[in-house]
Amino acid sequence: MTLCITYSLDSYRANALSDSLLTTTSKAQRAAFLPSNERIVHQNPYGVKVQIISQPEALYSERFDVLCSVAGNVSLGLQSLLYVDGFLRGTSCLWYDHIKNLIEEKVYQFWDSAGDQHLNICFAMNDHKGRIRFFELKADDNRFSFDEVAEENEILISVIGDDCVEVKKKILTRINAYCYKMELEEAIHVASVEVLKEIVEDPSSIFVGGNIQGALLNHHHAEYLVVKRGDSFTFRSADLEYYEKLTYPILDLSEERFKITGETERYPWRDFSTH
């Protein structure tokens, strides 16, 4: 019960965004005409749904970060990511394929022993040539899949969570329209942020809300985003009073094209494919 949007800006960079609303439901008796026997028992806007996991020394002693966004059972998803993060930090992984396969193996191990097996996670990472790759994990009581997300007309985007198919269609439609007045990279960013912002702020949205949170990935290095909205600042769903002391990049929702400022500059990733 959430909405996560991950999108590639170019061959080397990606952003992951999510809402922050946490919802707890329980089974209840229902009238025959109602579509569900679930009822909401609690909601709060402080959920953390974007997480960075790291392999501290990979690819010639360079850090290898993986950008993750969690839908489905958020608590279970975050626990599985923390488990994978702990494993990677104590393991010597030298190459992209090794890290990707270990992530799939360890999340499966966690899922296979869990009571509630509903997982939905998007993983964004750079391969050994620095190219952005997305993988979607979808799991329930009967199946477990870990599949790469394919580009659609040179656009790489993953949407997981509530009404994900319709939300993705809406974003792609806006990207197509915005390309007439801005570069593709900017059109992807503006459309993705705009659609998520509209759903988060929609009072009729039952399971998506709270604040927008996010992180970015740039040449194997990931950073969390501070999100600015008017005069208020949030970081991973938490309200900030002293944001000036943070060195994280800022996503400005008050600015027309949702610019991100303060991003750490990265040199183009070295190509080790010939080694």
Sheet holding 238-239, edge to edge: 238-239, 232-235, 226-229, 250-252, 260-261
167: how many CB neighbours lie within 10 A of its CB? 21
Confidence bin at 274 (pLDDT 50/70/90): very low
Of the listed ranges 159-163, 196-200, 217-221, 271-275, the one predicted with least confidence: 271-275
Band (85; pLDDT cuts 50, 70, 90): very high
Instruction: Please give the distance of CA 127 from its chain centroid, rounded to a whole number.
Output: 18
pLDDT category, 6, cuts 50, 70, 90?
A: very high
* pTM reported for the whole predicted model: 0.91
pLDDT band at 273, cuts 50/70/90?
very low
Q: Which secondary structure element, helix H or strand E, spans residue 215, and what is its range? A: strand 213-218
User: Contact 167/159 with Cβ under 8 angstroms?
Assistant: yes
pLDDT score recorded for residue 63: 79
What rounded mean pLDDT belongs to the chain?
Answer: 87
